[in-house]
Amino acid sequence: MAKYVTSVATPWAPEVAFAYMADVTHFAAWDPGVKRAVRVTGEGGVGTAYELTVVAGGTTVMRYEVTAFEAPRRLLLVAKTAFLESIDEIRVDPTPQGSRVTYDAQLKLKGPLGLFDPLLRLAFRRIGDRAAEGLRRALQGVRA
């Protein structure tokens, strides 16, 4: 399993930061690995689905579903393909200066592909670093 966690301290109020992050269509604006993000079902809460066109060694469309929605604190997204499972958790905590947004992403290769987890971890770190920088800029914050 590959895991990447980053936190951004932003001057945005928790409600504003959460609203921005909970609209998954914004991912394409801050994550250079996401070329397109479209809501395909739902209104933003549990059960809402998004299709993200991601570029990582090729282009693929991943369908993420919101499995937990606890405004303005927590959002959980899950995507499953034939080859992997992606679990992304977003937490927003209030701070005296605004809020801290934590993005916790996990990728798990399925079946025998799990043998490639060490390589996936290396690649995921580079992908995560680029996304973390984009998130910091989008939230007008600093790494926490």
Tokens of 52: 């993200």
- Other CB atoms closer than 10 Å to residue 7's CB: what's the count? 19
Distance of alpha carbon 94 from alpha carbon 92, whole angstroms: 7
- Is pLDDT at 108 greater than 70 in this prediction? yes
User: Domain limits at 29?
Assistant: 2-143
Number of domains in the chain: 1
Residues 56-101 pLDDT 10s: 778 899 999 999 999 999 999 999 988 889 999 999 999 999 999 9
CATH code, domain with 98: 3.30.530.20
Radius of gyration of the chain, Cα coordinates, nearest whole angstrom: 15
pLDDT at 121: 74
What whole-number distance in Å separates Cα of residue 10 and Cα of residue 96? 11
The proportion of the chain whose per-residue pLDDT surpasses 70, expressed as a percent, equals 96
CB 18 within 8 Å of CB 92:
yes
Strand ranges of the sheet holding 49-55, from the earlier edge strand across to the other edge: 34-41, 49-55, 59-70, 74-80, 84-95, 98-109, 2-10, 142-143
Residue of 99, 48, 55, 54 lying closest to 76 (CA atoms) = 48
Write phi, then psi, for 60 (nearest 5 degrees): -145, 155
Query: In this predicted structure, which of 2-11, 36-45, 57-66, 132-141 has the lowest mean pLDDT?
Result: 57-66
Whole-angstrom Cα distance, residue 98 to residue 81?
36
Which of 15-19, 49-53, 80-84, 132-136 has the least mean pLDDT? 80-84
The model scores a pTM over 0.85: yes
4: tokens are: 């990447």
Q: Distance between CA 97 and CA 14 in Å, rounded?
A: 10
User: What's the confidence (pLDDT) of residue 140?
Assistant: 97
